């Protein structure tokens, strides 16, 4: 329900145009305040009615696609879920996700994240090749429960933006990619744990994490990547000790 008043709210938006600006700057826009508007509505209003040059990513507008993640007053948030009313009447500062290079205005370069998803092999690696005629892979509700939480990740990268370790050491595989690796490691249909260990048990993998815990706090889907990383550390440590045993893996 939109308010009928002529109230307005100021958005201080991060602007950067690689062709024109040696350094980024902030630009203020006064937008109409509506009770049911989110920051993304305000950005779309600026783009449609005030300044077509503003560049930002968005798609579904309902917390599913993971495209509209930005820093809102310093917090990593999906802008489709950040209501203006929660900040009104104070100004709202909107910046691109921390830790990533900025391509233009609010759009970050996500190539590094995409490469990390490949590094950790975030897909199902079946135990054996299977023909279609052999039927489906069966799984019990208890087996599904083991990994379901980690499978809810929408690749929004808010966890990377909240992680100071990633901001300081971009070699770090990072929260979402490790949570997704753990998602497949815990899947009863999967047999790729050893293949993924090469990336996630490396120095740049789980052992780079110092358990700040902010990744889990900002996750819009309660995936708990911090938990996934610590559980992967535990699994790696157990494997390492097992390998020391006479009949262990080695």
Q: List residues binding another protein (CB under 8 A).
A: 16, 18, 24, 74, 98, 100-103, 108-109, 111, 141-142, 145-146, 164, 167-168, 210-214, 216-217, 224, 226-227, 230-231, 233-234
Q: How far is the CB of 8 from another protein (least distance, A)?
A: 28
Residue 197 or 232 having the CB closest to another protein: 232
Task: Determine the angle formed by the axes of helices 193-200 and 225-244, rounding to 10 degrees.
Answer: 110
**Between residues 100 and 172, which has the closer beta carbon with respect to another protein?**
100
Nearest-approach distance from CB 70 to another protein, in angstroms: 13
CB of 40 to another protein, least distance (A): 22
Instruction: State which residue, 10 or 212, has the beta carbon closest to another protein.
Output: 212
Task: Write phi, then psi, for 82 (nearest 5 degrees).
Answer: -105, 105
Of 185 and 216, the one with the shorter C-beta distance to another protein is: 216
- Cβ-contact 69, 17 below 8 angstroms: no
Residue 55: φ, ψ to 5° = -120, 125
Minimal distance, residue 232 CB to another protein, in Å: 10
- Closer to another protein by CB, 58 or 150: give it: 150
Smallest distance from another protein to CB 101, Å: 3
**Residue 135 or 141 having the CB closest to another protein:** 141
CB of 198 to another protein, least distance (A): 22
Question: What whole-number distance in Å separates Cα of residue 24 and Cα of residue 36?
Answer: 30
> How many of the other CB atoms lie within 10 Å of CB of 197?
19
């Amino acid at each position: 329900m939109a308010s009928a008043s002529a109230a307005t709210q100021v958005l201080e938006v991060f602007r950067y145009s690689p062709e024109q600006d040696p350094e980024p700057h902030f630009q203020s826009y006064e937008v109409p305040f509506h009770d049911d508007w989110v920051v993304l509505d305000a950005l779309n209003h600026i783009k449609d009615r005030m300044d077509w040059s503003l560049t930002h990513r968005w798609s579904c507008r309902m917390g599913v696609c993971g495209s509209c993640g930005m820093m809102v007053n310093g917090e990593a948030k999906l802008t489709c879920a950040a209501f203006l009313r929660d900040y009104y009447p104070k100004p709202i500062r909107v910046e691109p996700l921390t830790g990533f290079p900025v391509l233009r205005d609010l759009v970050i370069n996500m190539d590094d994240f995409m490469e990390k998803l490949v590094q950790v092999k975030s897909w199902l690696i079946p135990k054996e090749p299977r023909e279609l005629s052999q039927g489906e892979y069966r799984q019990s509700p208890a087996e599904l429960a083991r990994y379901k939480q980690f499978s809810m990740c929408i690749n929004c990268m808010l966890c990377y933006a909240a992680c100071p370790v990633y901001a300081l050491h971009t070699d770090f595989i990072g929260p979402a990619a490790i949570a997704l690796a753990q998602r497949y490691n815990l899947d009863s249909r999967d047999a790729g744990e050893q293949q993924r260990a090469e990336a996630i048990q490396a120095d740049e993998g789980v052992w780079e994490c110092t358990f700040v815990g902010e990744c889990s706090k900002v996750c819009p889907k309660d995936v708990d990547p911090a938990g996934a990383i610590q559980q992967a550390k535990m699994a790696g440590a157990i494997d390492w000790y097992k390998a020391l045993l006479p009949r262990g893996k080695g």
